[in-house]
A and B are shown apart, each in its own frame.
Chain A
Amino acid sequence: MGHPEIDFSGKKILVTGGSRGIGRSIVDSFCDSGGKVIILDLDKASAEQTVTELSSKGRDVSFLPLDVSDHHAVRQTIEGIIDREGQIDVLVNDAGVTLSKPFAECGEDDWDLVVGINLKGTFNTCNVIFPHMISRGYGKIVNIASIAGKLGGGFRGTAIYAASKAGVIGLTKGLAREGGPFGVNANAVCPGVIRTSMSESIPDEHKQKIIEMTPLGRFGEPREIGDVVAFLASDLASHITGEIMDVDGGIVKD
């Protein structure tokens, strides 16, 4: 009978946006489970700090700079990693930006930026990794979406942000359907409001409104996202695919 344990020893994991906040906690969870993590991020300073901190604890983690919205750069970087490492077992798409501007104040530039990073960025990495995972008959993709993608925004992001995350949800389901027969699992995590430096800037009365909608009565901690991501990427969740998992203290109840 099973003795369940989340174990990534011998496994190699790519995490986009893994330098800080939720992404950093995702990296922590994989490292704590014995995995080798490569962070892909635009924020060089945070990423290098993260690598230094974790390496000093004996974790196997490294960093490469990458703008996920740049398809060519994504292809070059990830193909280079596959050549060097020989295998990538897990891809976590966490790189993303929010946009709090009301829709009536948004323009085409806002759309291109937010969709370019949040949705096309996820497409870009998956597009390069997918054939590799299929050829190995093994792969786990975990996309960080948001409850905004289900609710149309309303917390920190607005309609454009919501659209980008709803797109990530749709993409995840399609990848699950197409990748399933080849041993590739694709799932998404929808965080609610998570306590990070970004959430500090939410006005107090808005914070209060959010707490009132949250059965657990609090924001989530970044590590509470990291652990769910690690679980979904593990072999313990091998029969879960195409699942959109809300980690939001009970706001959506979907």
Chain B
Amino acid sequence: MKFDLSGKVAVVSGASRGIGHAIALSMASCGADVAILDMDIEGASKTASDIASLGVRSEAYMVDVSKPAQIKEVFEKIMKIFGKIDILVNNAGVVSPKPFLETDEKEWDLIMGVNLKGVYNTCFTVLPHMIGNKYGKIVNIASIAGKTGGGFFGNTIYGTSKAGVIALTKGIAREAGPYGINVNAICPGPIETQMLADCPREVRERILSGVPLRRFGTPQDIANVAVFLASDLSSHMTGEITDVDGGIMRDG
């Protein structure tokens, strides 16, 4: 069974690299046009040109998701160029490993601003449009850190921001469900990235011993689930928080 996203427009934040990049490309390969929001305009533009070679439309926009005015402005640009938004993937995020007592207000504001308020900003801006169309799929990339309170690569503040994303997901699902909009979140576990590869072997082994599948995830593992949640195959799922973590959480 294919995921048919042809004719759909997806907005993906944080798609210059890693998980966001994999999500953007996977949605494009299933037929969606993709608008990319990122602070790294060079990386985002590269992603957009990779997507264009798949035969769909893609544009990159330099945006700080923590700034409501920038979100409003880019939304208007996207509506002009793409005409509509069917899918919103909130992937943009920052991480910090600092122990709680070494953090400060500045760090709180930064992490909350991007990870949580960023999701609020985009959803608040896009939702009225989706309600008007009686159709929309919102996929928020949270983290198992939102359930554990951090502890792998993200710290307590990071975990708090992601717990906020989880609750925001459920609340918008509850409120927007009557209008035919599905809102779900993905909680990735540790993902194989350069940061993880640079970790001391004992740290990797310790984490892996708690992973039933005995491996770390890949950006494509997350992208596959994002495409599923953006498709009509998941049409009766909303408010669901899906762990993609090799079995660490085994949560409800």
Contact = CB atoms under 8 A, between A and B. Distances in A.
Contact of A227 (B233, B239, B247): B233
B234 interface: yes
Interface in A225-254: 225, 227-228, 230-231, 236-250, 252-254
B234 A2 contact: no
A32 B218 CA distance: 27
Secondary structure dominating the interface of B? mixed
Interface in A185-205: 185, 192
A221 B50 CA distance: 37
Contacts of A32: 1
A185 B250 CA distance: 12
Interface in B1-47: 1-3, 22, 25-26, 29-30
B213 interface: yes
Interface string A206-237: 00000000111100110011011011000011
Interface in A1-44: 1-6, 29, 32-33
A107 interface: no
B68 interface: no
A254 B240 contact: yes
B250 A176 contact: yes
A181 B1 contact: no
Given A192-B236, A231-B228, A253 B212 contact: no
Nearest to B2: A5
Given A216-B180, A216-B238, A241-B212, A230 B1 contact: yes
B78 interface: no
A228 B237 contact: yes
The residue among A33, A180, A237 with the most chain B CB atoms within 10 A of its own CB is: A180
Contact of B235 (A217, A224, A239, A243): A224
A216 B228 CA distance: 18
A173 interface: yes
Interface string B198-234: 0000000000000111100110111111011000011
Contact of B228 (A214, A221, A236): A236
Nearest to A219: B236
A4 B26 contact: yes
Interface in B163-215: 170, 173-178, 180, 182, 189, 211-214
Interface string B79-118: 0000000000000000000000000000000000000000
A4 B29 contact: yes
B252 interface: yes
Contacts of A237: 224-225, 228
B236 A248 contact: yes
Interface string A158-192: 00000000000100010011111101010000001
Nearest to A29: B1
20 contacts: A1-B50, A2-B26, A4-B29, A32-B1, A176-B212, A178-B212, A215-B178, A217-B178, A239-B213, A239-B221, A239-B222, A242-B247, A242-B250, A242-B251, A243-B243, A243-B251, A245-B240, A249-B177, A250-B238, A253-B174
Interface of B: 1-3, 22, 25-26, 29-30, 50, 170, 173-178, 180, 182, 189, 211-214, 217-218, 220-225, 227-228, 233-247, 249-252
